[in-house]
């Protein structure tokens, strides 16, 4: 057997257009689904028409049996008026209302019929006709709407997005009943043909952001969309940054709140998430509960999240810098305690901190990947072994264990896990810089981090907005605190919205 030629890097994606270069007929459709056990055909004699027959094709498992019987087969077998329809007008007569179906499509290419069959339709073929009818009879099997697992709701709605695209759009429309809500569908993936919807409010959202989102979806040239990263890493260009440039959420109420603020949403069939663009840094410190709590409590919790972000980033590096390079800055009693604890530890401070950070990440990853009961057991045992046993064996000092534990727990306060993962990566970098240059290295790393964040943009909006914005752009309300809702007269963020005022 000869080997297939090697694909060159500049060669286009191996997909033919049209996908199936064959004329439309029943025999060619059978060739398309050759060796497919779930492809089924059924020949039906029309009621009162004697020898006149019609062939129904469908994919078993994608088509629901009850709908196929009631919407298609029953009228074909019982409606005797079909016998009086002229030979060449039967398909058009069926399309105009003889079938008990809400939608009936006339197809003239084999590509269209094959795609409809995979999508849950049945196809009707008449002998000698160059066209076919497709009728939606899909099963619509989906997971029921449940509570969000990654974003628990303490005082608010308890529904979450599911894998069904139309269920997700209905959840949005039940909250935003304005006729101005727009849902524009794009097909992404050469092989998966996954529908992705762009959702926005016509009188509020920035038209340029809507246009950019649609163009980037149309430019995606991939085989399929099977995970969240397939969309996120193609929609945003900054692939060299660990920080997320697009917000994802499981909660329809938060998704709708972002639409009301002037952002543009995306929903993908098969993925129980909603995405919001443009993504800015302040979004990843907010939760869906901020507007449910009293403004003082919500503001305090938001300030705690910002403080914890600084702690998880700086504490390990600050500990190394103070102990190794600047011990004179440590209070006397604390310095004596740290020195006494380190007397029997044979390793350097940088080694202690790095080994504990790595152990913390390993235990966390093991707890996430194992089944629930086993994962919690491994996390508890790992914490006891790595913590107490390492201190008792004089591998690390108690002060290092406390510093790393505080930094790790502080990172869990981030509402967005993607943003928390980026902070964890930068924490390692700042720790290494602190071991090389003390406080100077730590400050240099912080400057590099700010420079990196200041250079990021998401759909033309600065990543650090509304703390900073480009020329001619309006800043939204303060984001470090959540003012009383009656005082929020303007939509937050730095989006170029059509209508920035949201209340009198």
Residues 443, 344 share a domain: yes
**Comparing 380 with 61, which gets the higher pLDDT?**
61
The count of residues in the chain is: 504
Query: Do residues 425 and 459 lie in contact, with contact meaning Cβ atoms separated by under 8 Å?
Result: no
- CA within 13 Å, CB half, 51: 1
Least confident of 201-205, 335-339, 405-409: 335-339
pLDDT for the residue numbered 462: 86
* Confidence class for position 363, pLDDT limits 50, 70, 90: confident
What's the 3-state SS for 472-491? CCCCCCCCCCCCCHHHCCEC
Average pLDDT for 234-262: 88
In a 10 Å sphere around its CB, with 0-12 CB exposed, 13-18 middle and 19+ buried, how is residue 339 labelled?
A: middle
Residues 413, 452 share a domain: yes
Residues 322, 263 share a domain: no
Q: Looking at the domain assignment, is residue 291 inside a domain?
A: no
Residues 404, 322 share a domain: yes
**Which domain range does residue 398 map to?**
301-458
Residues 454, 319 share a domain: yes
Number of separate domains in the chain: 3
pLDDT for the residue numbered 472: 45
Read off the tokens for 134: 């497709």
Residues 306, 269 share a domain: no
Helices and strands, number each (H, E), in the chain: 16, 12
Residue-averaged pLDDT of the chain: 84
Q: Looking at the domain assignment, is residue 13 inside a domain?
A: no
Residues 452, 309 share a domain: yes
**In the predicted model, is pLDDT for residue 264 greater than 90?**
yes
**Comparing 494 with 68, which gets the higher pLDDT?**
68
Contact partners, residue 153, CB within 8 Å, separation at least 6: 147, 251, 288, 289
pLDDT digits (tens, 9 = 90+) for 162-190: 988 999 999 999 999 989 999 999 999 88
Average pLDDT for 195-208: 91
pLDDT digits (tens, 9 = 90+) for 450-478: 999 988 888 888 888 777 755 445 545 55
Tell me, rounded to whole angstroms, the distance of Cα 141 from its chain centroid. 21
**In the predicted model, is pLDDT for residue 431 greater than 80?**
yes
Residues 305, 421 share a domain: yes
Find, among 133, 141, 147, the residue nearest to 44 by Cα.
Answer: 133
Residues 324, 185 share a domain: no
What's the 3-state SS for 410-463? HHCCCCCHHHHHHHHHHHHHHHHHHHHHHHHHHHHHHHHHHHHHHCCEECCEEC
Residues 333, 371 share a domain: yes
Q: Looking at the domain assignment, is residue 288 inside a domain?
A: no
- CA–CA dist 103, 293 (Å, integer): 46
Q: Looking at the domain assignment, is residue 20 inside a domain?
A: no
Q: Give residue for tokens 């993908």.
A: 268
Residues 454, 305 share a domain: yes
- CA within 13 Å, CB half, 149: 4
**pTM for the whole structure:** 0.84
Find, among 254, 247, 200, the residue nearest to 228 by Cα.
Answer: 247
Least confident of 102-116, 324-338, 419-433: 324-338
Q: Looking at the domain assignment, is residue 132 inside a domain?
A: yes
pLDDT for the residue numbered 373: 66
pLDDT for the residue numbered 142: 75
Residues 214, 249 share a domain: yes
Least confident of 292-301, 325-334, 379-388: 379-388
Contact partners, residue 435, CB within 8 Å, separation at least 6: 317, 320, 324, 349, 350, 441
- CA–CA dist 14, 186 (Å, integer): 21
Q: Looking at the domain assignment, is residue 293 inside a domain?
A: no
Q: Looking at the domain assignment, is residue 211 inside a domain?
A: yes
* Cis amide bond preceding 501, omega within 30: no
pLDDT digits (tens, 9 = 90+) for 131-154: 899 999 988 777 888 888 888 777
Q: Give residue for tokens 């700042």.
A: 430
Contact partners, residue 121, CB within 8 Å, separation at least 6: 58, 63, 105, 134, 135, 136, 137, 138
Q: Looking at the domain assignment, is residue 10 inside a domain?
A: no
């Amino acid at each position: 057997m000869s080997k297939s030629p090697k694909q060159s890097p500049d060669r286009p994606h191996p997909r033919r257009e049209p996908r199936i270069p064959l004329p439309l007929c029943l025999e060619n459709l059978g060739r398309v689904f050759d060796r497919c056990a779930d492809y089924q055909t059924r020949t039906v004699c029309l009621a009162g028409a004697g020898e006149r027959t019609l062939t129904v094709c469908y994919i078993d498992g994608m088509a629901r049996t009850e709908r196929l019987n009631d919407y298609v087969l029953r009228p074909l077998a019982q409606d005797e008026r079909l016998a009086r329809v002229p030979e060449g007008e039967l398909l058009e007569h069926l399309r105009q209302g003889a079938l008990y179906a809400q939608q009936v499509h006339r197809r003239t290419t084999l590509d269209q019929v094959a795609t409809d069959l995979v999508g849950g339709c049945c196809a009707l073929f008449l002998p000698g006709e160059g066209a076919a009818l497709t009728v939606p009879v899909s099963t619509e099997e989906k997971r029921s709407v449940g509570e969000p697992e990654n974003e628990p709701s303490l005082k608010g709605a308890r529904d979450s997005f599911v894998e069904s695209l139309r269920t997700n759009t209905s959840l949005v429309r039940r909250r935003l009943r304005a006729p101005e809500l727009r849902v524009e569908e794009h097909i992404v993936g050469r092989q998966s043909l996954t529908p992705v919807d762009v959702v926005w409010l016509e009188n509020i959202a920035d038209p340029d952001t809507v246009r950019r989102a649609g163009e980037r979806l149309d430019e995606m040239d991939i085989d399929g969309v099977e995970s969240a990263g397939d969309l996120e890493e193609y929609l945003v260009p900054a692939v060299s940054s660990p920080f997320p440039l697009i917000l994802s959420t499981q909660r329809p109420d938060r998704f709708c709140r972002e639409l009301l603020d002037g952002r543009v949403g995306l929903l993908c069939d098969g993925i129980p998430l909603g995405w919001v663009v443009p993504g800015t840094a302040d979004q990843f410190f907010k939760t869906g509960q901020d507007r449910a709590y009293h403004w003082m409590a919500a503001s305090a919790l938001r300030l705690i999240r910002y403080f914890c972000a600084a702690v998880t980033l700086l504490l390990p590096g600050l500990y190394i810098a103070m102990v190794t390079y600047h011990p004179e800055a440590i209070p006397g009693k604390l310095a004596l305690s740290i020195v006494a604890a380190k007397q029997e530890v044979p390793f350097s401070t940088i080694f202690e901190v790095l080994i504990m950070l790595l152990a913390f990440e390993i235990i966390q990853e093991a707890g996430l990947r194992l089944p629930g009961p086993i994962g919690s057991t491994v996390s508890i045992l790992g914490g006891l072994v790595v913590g107490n046993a390492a201190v008792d064996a004089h591998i690390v000092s108690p002060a290092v264990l406390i510093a790393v534990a505080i930094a790790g727990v502080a990172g869990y306060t981030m509402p967005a896990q993607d943003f928390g993962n980026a902070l964890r990566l930068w924490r390692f970098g700042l720790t290494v810089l602190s071991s090389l240059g003390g406080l100077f290295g730590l400050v240099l790393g912080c400057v590099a981090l700010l420079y990196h964040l200041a250079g990021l943009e998401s759909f033309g909006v600065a990543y650090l907005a509304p703390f900073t914005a480009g020329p001619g752009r309006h800043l939204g309300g303060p984001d470090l605190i959540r003012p009383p809702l009656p005082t929020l007269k303007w939509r937050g963020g730095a989006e170029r919205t059509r209508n920035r005022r949201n209340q009198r």
